[in-house]
A and B are shown apart, each in its own frame.
Chain A
Amino acid sequence: MFSRAAYTTGTRAFRAPSFAQGRMASTQAGPGPFGADRKAAIAWFTKAAAGSAILGYGVSNYIATDERIAPLSKALSDSVNALQKKADDLGLKLPFTVAHAFSTADHGLHPPHYPWDHYKPWKTYDHASIRRGFQVYKEVCSACHSMEYIHYRNLVGVSHTEAEAKELAAEYEYKDGPNDVGEMFMRPGKLTDAMPAPYPNEEAARAANGGAYPPDLSCIVRARHGEEDYIFSLLLGYCDPPAGVTVREGLHYNPYFPGGAIAMARALYDEVCEYDDGTPNNASQLAKDVTTFLSWASYPEHDERKKMGLKTLAISTMLLGLSVWWKRFKWSYIKSRKIVYKPGKFDEV
């Protein structure tokens, strides 16, 4: 019989191979983390790389495409609907709701996806477009919309030089003070001033716009479902109301706006702004530029965030490779050793 003492001292009853024996055994079975020799290691890496590439390419291009996902999601929703119908017949209540009454008239027409360049994971904003978009905002939108969280200093190094931003700021007068006799006074704008507000307060804005409040545009892209696509579609989506829809006096029909009736009139027409960099100034170009500008205003960290994210992915990939190697290096000895049981004389208890 084994005795506890015999096992722990391990001299006769059980003999685990020593480190040296393990190494000797493994020279025959295959040393190294990735196989018996260099050829096997190269084969391992080739297979790993080819497998990852085929898997990644296959999943993104052939499996996870709309053509494949759409039937799957339809099959899923069909089966859930059938389940719901069965439960209704039996008088049961399922712990989830399936039917959504959705009306584009109430919720707004869903905007199409536009191929924004800055949606690609490796692309920054087009800063020339931000600059043109600021011009559109300044000449058109700022008549009614404030941007109280965007300051002139934010433009420096993004779309304008410091001298240009100072000049832009100085075009407006800002209230400051009190001075040394306790009076408020007007002074030209500085880099630290926000975009000038068109109305002194919300009540004044509502009174001037038939009761509708033009929202602040500082974070408007973040704040709207559909983001850039919604803003772009809304700006260009004005049309005549369909038959049977009446729009109240002072409102305008826009299918992308929830409810369909929007107080803002169409503002962007061909050639309402004159670009100085030679870009065509048709309405869709103006809308694209101002949407890019508003997107930057909502996500000013966008460029840096993407660059940092890609660097993080690169470093993490290296660390993943290193950890795979390290694990296989440590385990190669354990995986290639043999444990041999040699029966011998046992100490009787």
Chain B
Amino acid sequence: MASAIARTTYNLFFRRSSSYMVGIFASAFAFEIAFDGAADRLWDSVNKGRQWKDIRSKYIEEQ
């Protein structure tokens, strides 16, 4: 099972330089989105009620 996954991964991403590069760029893109999203959510939960986005609803006027 593990070797099947490894073989598929190898054949998909590592076998050719072109697919290797595509894999690097795609995983960098995906990692940044995931990491930034997770870090921002953690940050907002630690600072709940302190940031402007938490209090702006009190002052914004409905159009």
Known: A307-B43, A311-B39, A314-B39. A124 touches B51 (CB 8 A): yes
CB < 8 Å neighbour of A127 from B43, B46, B51, B60:
B51
User: Does A42 sit at the interface, judged by CB under 8 A?
Assistant: no
Q: Which residue of A lies closest to B61 (CB)?
A: A163
Number of interface residues of B (CB under 8 A): 17
**Docked complex Cα distance between A159 and B36 (Å):** 25
User: Does A24 sit at the interface, judged by CB under 8 A?
Assistant: no
User: Does A12 sit at the interface, judged by CB under 8 A?
Assistant: no
Whether A310 and B50, one on each chain, are in contact in the complex, defined by CB atoms closer than 8 angstroms, is no
Whether A127 and B59, one on each chain, are in contact in the complex, defined by CB atoms closer than 8 angstroms, is no
CB < 8 Å neighbour of B55 from A123, A128, A310, A311:
A128
Whether A303 and B51, one on each chain, are in contact in the complex, defined by CB atoms closer than 8 angstroms, is yes
User: Does A199 sit at the interface, judged by CB under 8 A?
Assistant: no
CB < 8 Å neighbour of B46 from A122, A125, A126, A164:
A122
Known: A122-B46, A164-B59. A127 touches B39 (CB 8 A): no
User: Does B47 sit at the interface, judged by CB under 8 A?
Assistant: yes
User: Does B29 sit at the interface, judged by CB under 8 A?
Assistant: no
Number of interface residues of A (CB under 8 A): 23
CB < 8 Å neighbour of A123 from B35, B39, B47, B54:
B47
Known: A161-B59, A163-B61, A164-B59. A126 touches B50 (CB 8 A): yes
User: In the complex, what residues of A have CB within 8 A of residue B60's CB?
Assistant: 161
User: In the complex, what residues of A have CB within 8 A of residue B35's CB?
Assistant: 311, 314-315
What's the least CB distance linking B6 to chain A, in Å? 16
Q: Which residue of A lies closest to B60 (CB)?
A: A161
Whether B61 and A127, one on each chain, are in contact in the complex, defined by CB atoms closer than 8 angstroms, is no
CB < 8 Å neighbour of B61 from A123, A125, A161:
A161
User: Does A158 sit at the interface, judged by CB under 8 A?
Assistant: yes
Whether B59 and A124, one on each chain, are in contact in the complex, defined by CB atoms closer than 8 angstroms, is no
Give B2-61 interface residues, CB cut-off 8 Å to A. 35-36, 39-40, 43, 46-47, 50-52, 54-56, 58-61
Leading 4 A-B pairs by shortest Cβ distance: A127-B52, A124-B47, A126-B50, A124-B50
CB < 8 Å neighbour of B52 from A117, A157, A164:
A157
**Docked complex Cα distance between A122 and B35 (Å):** 17
Write out, one digit per residue, whether chain A residues 280-304 have a CB within 8 A of any chain B CB (1) or not (0). 0000000000000000000000010
Whether B59 and A160, one on each chain, are in contact in the complex, defined by CB atoms closer than 8 angstroms, is yes
Give the residue among A117, A127, A163, A277 with the most B Cβ atoms within 10 A: A127
